[in-house]
Amino acid sequence: MIQMLKFLIRGQVMNKWMVFFQLIKRDLTVFKRDFRIKCIDTVFLFFTNVMAFGYLLQQEGAHSGYAAFFVVGAIASFGFIEIVGKVGLLLADMDGDKTILHTLGMPMSSNMVFCYFATSWALTSMVLSAILFPIGKLLVFTEWNWHTISSWRVILIFISANLFFGTFAFWLSSMIKNMTNLNSLWLRYIAPMWMFGGYVYSWKSAFDLSPLIGYISLINPMIYVMEGMRTAALGQSGYLPFWLCLSMLWVFIILCMTHGAKRMRKKLDCI
**Cα 148–Cα 151–Cα 157 angle in degrees, nearest 5:** 105
State the pLDDT at residue 70.
Answer: 84
For residue 212, pLDDT over 90 is answered with yes
Most confident segment among 10-14, 71-75, 82-86, 115-119: 115-119
Mean pLDDT to the nearest integer, 252-263:
93
CB 113 within 8 A of CB 173: no
**Cα 130–Cα 136–Cα 137 angle in degrees, nearest 5:** 105
**R_g over Cα of the chain:** 20
Query: Binning pLDDT at 50, 70 and 90, where does residue 252 land?
Result: very high
Query: Binning pLDDT at 50, 70 and 90, where does residue 3 land?
Result: very low
Distance CA 252, CA 193 (A): 14
pTM above 0.85, yes or no: yes
Q: What is the pLDDT of residues 161-209, one digit of tens each?
A: 999 999 999 999 888 877 777 777 777 788 888 888 888 888 998 999 9
For residue 60, pLDDT over 70 is answered with no
